[in-house]
Structure formats: C-alpha cells, structure tokens
Amino acid sequence: MKILITGGTGFIGSAFVRLALSRGHQVAGLVIPAETISPELAGREGLRWFRGTLSEAPWPEIDSFQADLCVHTAWITTPGVYLESPENERFRDLSLEFLNRLSDSGTRHIVGLGTCIEYQITDQPLVEDQTPIAPTTTYARCKNELRLSLEAEAKAKGLRFCWGRVFYPYGPGEHPSRLCSSTLQKLKRGEKIHLKTPGSTKDYIYIEDLAAAVLSVVESKTTGAVNLGTGIGTSVRTLAHQLAGLLGKPDLIQEANPPELDPFPYVVADSAKLRSSGWKPTVTIEEGLRRLVARTGI
C-alpha cells in the first residue's frame, strides 16, 4: 500500500512510519522545509520525504507518488498551548483544503486523527456512535469541525474516510512537558510531586500500540469514527506511584487535599470497534512506564 502521511516526523507520525515500513508499505511524508529528519527515518527503503507545508505543498511530487491513502496527523500539539491556540483554526482550514486537493488528484482513502475530548465527558467509557459530541476546547472544536467537513466531502465524492479519536499516548519520544516525562524528570531531580487531581483517570496508550492501532484501521479499511484507546483507565495517582516505584522514590508523591477540579476527570475509550479490526494492546501501563524509564537513561 502507498501511504502519504502528514506530520510524519511527530510523536505519533514517526511511530506510524516505522511500523508501516516494517509491514512492507511504501510511505511518503510531507515535512516542513526547516524540519530535521532523524537518522532512523532518513534514507529508509520504501520511504520518501516531500518538503512543503499544508498551504504550500509540493503537488507535483505528491501527485507522482499516487498515494492509495493519506494519514493526516499534522496539527498543533504543544502541551500548555494547544488546547486554546488560534493555530487550531488555521490547521482546520488548511487541512480541509489540502485533503480536498489530495482527493481530487486521486487519493480515495483518508484517515484523520481527532481527539477523545471531542466527546461529552462523563463517568462512563466513551462510545463512538452513542456518546454525544460536545467539545469544550478550541482544539477539540476545530478537530470536530474538520471531521464534519471531511465526512460531507467523503459522502459527496465517494471516498473512504476514517476518523480516529486519539486518547492519551505516552512513551519514548513524547514531549518533555507531557505528564509521564515531566513526572520522571522531577523524580530524577528529587523533587516532590504534588498531584493536583490524583483521582483523574485517563486511557493511556503506549505509542507503539497507538501506531499499531492506526495501521490496523488503515489495513482493515475501517470507516467512520473509531476510538484509538485501550479501554483501560489509569488514575494519575497510580501512574505517579508506579513511576516513583520504578525510580525507588515512593516518598516523593504527595496529593492535594482537597484535589483540584479536573474538567476531564474520566476519559476512557470503549475500544470494541478498534478491537474488531484485529488490534489489541500489547504493552501494559506497567511495561510502558518501564520502557520510558529505560529510555530516559535514569
């Protein structure tokens, strides 16, 4: 299969590229001109890189590749910034323009990545065709608006379209400000960890399992919305204590009393649709954290 990917050097995109190549797919990635491609993704057999952006794409190269499908991962994801950044609206508009142009040139299968917080958050697992959609952040709203536009375009043009709602990826290569890595670094420095929302429970998915989930919906030609999560919730308390235990520093974990209010206190996938594609998680939270610790050199 010939796969075009946007955001292929990012946390999720690079993991997907590595796995897709290992499965024998041909991959072409759209990469911004100033981006440095890591050695592990440079010069790989079956992999090409096209320099450009969503707004100024190298269309002759893209058209000549004749992709069977596009996996669209490019978006703003900087922790502490992305949820309310006006860049979300720019990415929404540019993504729609780019993917429409791509489909007009012959690519008939689009897989886009959305977010679990498009849903109305309750105390129950989130189900694709049952849980109401009620985004409360600019990020989630713009993702959902792109989904709606792409669904309409797919219906009008007879395209195959899948929208993967990503839950909480973690693992080696993640942004240092994300929960697991930032907690690790504080523990390494001997700092006390003050858990503001210790009971907050999320569906953490190891990055390699997430890449496998995306490739599974690609290869199975899944359509519609699909949750990219494990179906297993882990509290912040549990995650922090497991990390502290791995580093031999359990006494550094403290909890706020009373805890602060988390607007997303329970975000766990119903993963039945994803598992029906043949996917299942292979890395437990305990093993994933162990691998993260090992890769940090602590």
Distance between CA 281 and CA 285 in Å, rounded?
10
Number of residues written out for the chain = 298
Q: Residue 40 has what pLDDT?
A: 86
Q: Is 249 helix (H, G, I), strand (E, B) or coil?
A: coil
Distance between CA 295 and CA 289 in Å, rounded?
10
One-letter amino acid for residue 285 of the chain? I
Buried-exposed string 156-166: b where 16+ CB fall within 10 A, e elsewhere = eeebebbbbbb
Q: Residue 297 has what pLDDT?
A: 59
Q: What is the pLDDT of residues 285-295, one digit of tens each?
A: 999 999 999 98
Q: Residue 296 has what pLDDT?
A: 78
Q: Residue 43 has what pLDDT?
A: 81
Element (H, E) at 165: strand 160-166
Look-up: residue for tokens 């990826």?
169
Residue 123 φ/ψ, nearest 5 degrees:
-105, 20
Domains in the chain, ordered, with CATH? Answer: 2-169+204-228 (3.40.50.720), 171-202+232-269+276-296 (3.90.25.10)
Q: Residue 211 has what pLDDT?
A: 98
Q: Is the pTM of this model over 0.85?
A: yes
Q: Residue 69 has what pLDDT?
A: 98
The pairing of beta strand 47-51 with beta strand 253-255: unpaired
Alpha helices in the chain (DSSP H): 11-22, 59-65, 87-104, 138-157, 179-188, 207-219, 236-246, 272-276, 285-296
Q: How far is CA 212 from CA 15, 215, 246, in A?
A: 9, 5, 26
Low-confidence residues of the chain: pLDDT under 70: 297-298
Distance between CA 85 and CA 99 in Å, rounded?
22
The pairing of beta strand 201-202 with beta strand 234-235: antiparallel
Summarize the chain as % helix, strand, coil (round to 5).
40, 20, 40
Cβ atoms of residues 135 and 143 within 8 Å: yes
